[in-house]
Amino acid sequence: MANNKIESVLVLGGNGKSGRRVVEKLRAKGVEVLVTTRELEKASKHSRYFIWENDRNWAEVLQGVNALFIVHPDTSMPEALQQIRVLSEHAYKANIKKIVLLSGRGQDSVVACENVIQHSGLRWTIVRSAWFNQNFTEGHFAHGIKAGEVVFMAGQAGEPFVDLDDLADVVVASLLEPIHDSQVYEVTGDILYTFRDAVAIISEKIGSPITYRELDKQSYLELLLQHGLPPAVAQHLVFAFSEILDGRNQSLGDGIDRVLKRSPKSFASFVDEAF
């Protein structure tokens, strides 16, 4: 029987919201963890220099690890498919035992990246995530929460916000337990909220008014450009948001129950703890 034990993991994006939590949970289990950094001068024994824009050192980056957790900046971006394909080829040549890909929900371009991993010749698990609870505290909407106004282009579609600790637990189990090989997990919370609802819950908790202002696509594009985003990036974000917020993801996933045998942390519990 093949030795499926995972003793070392490389986490791409190990300093981000999801990757950081996965790193902490893996190390708590005694797994050797390496992370990547985009700053060459910060490369060290436990941190390897890696950028998506150039694969010249990817073979070296993958040496000496058993498994790979991939957090791509945006798997719906046009360049993502080729980047994931090249990375999976390097992983195969490096004899990586297992790949876990953090993915999104409801976009054909994202599914194309998943298909590359599924046909890589390696053991794999796909973790499709809803929007994070923590986007309200350390991500996309944190500034708006503090400023008293969250501005976005989400309308009436409900979103099953998921807690990052739940997500990280699913990822860790998927990396370490072979029972999760060849599985696609939809990881979500257990209640659908509109973004307006979510902001209202936070506002009530902190006892201070926070408004939610919905913009149409053109107005939100103009806002992103005013904040200095390159036009191509801003246009892609608006297109991607218009897809994933059109109601196609207005459903609950069962990934947390399937992997962890428990219910997801509720959005209300997250708010109680975070605020």
Six-digit token pair at 165?
């600790």
Question: What pLDDT, on the 0 to 100 scale, is given for residue 2?
Answer: 60
The average pLDDT across 177-184 equals 98
pLDDT digits (tens, 9 = 90+) for 101-152: 999 999 999 999 999 999 999 999 999 999 999 999 998 899 999 999 999 9
The average pLDDT across 146-171 equals 98
Q: Which residue has the higher pLDDT, 5 or 117?
A: 117
pLDDT digits (tens, 9 = 90+) for 42-66: 888 889 999 999 999 999 999 999 9
Q: Give dist(CA 86, CA 52) in Å, integer.
A: 10
Average pLDDT, the chain: 96
Question: What pLDDT, on the 0 to 100 scale, is given for residue 42?
Answer: 84
Going by C-beta distance under 8 Å and a sequence separation of 6 or more, which residues neighbour residue 257?
263
Residue 200, pLDDT > 90, answer yes
Q: Are 66 and 99 in contact (CB under 8 A)?
A: no
Element spanning 102, H or E: strand 98-103
Q: Please report, for residues 45, 220, 228, the alpha-carbon distance to residue 49 in angstroms, rounded to integers and kept in the order given.
A: 11, 34, 27
pLDDT digits (tens, 9 = 90+) for 219-234: 999 999 999 999 999 9
Q: Give dist(CA 169, CA 164) in Å, integer.
A: 8
Question: What pLDDT, on the 0 to 100 scale, is given for residue 4?
Answer: 81
What pairs with residue 54 in β-bridges? 51
Largest Cα span, the chain: 60
- Which burial class, exposed, middle or buried, applies to 15 when counting CB atoms under 10 A from its CB (0-12, 13-18, 19+)? middle
Say whether domain 8-130+162-188+251-264 belongs to CATH 3.30.413.10.
no
The average pLDDT across 232-249 equals 95
Six-digit token pair at 11?
């986490």
Question: What pLDDT, on the 0 to 100 scale, is given for residue 44?
Answer: 86
Three-class SS state of 259: helix
Q: pTM for this one?
A: 0.95
The average pLDDT across 20-38 equals 97
pLDDT band at 217 (very low <50, low <70, confident <90, very high): very high
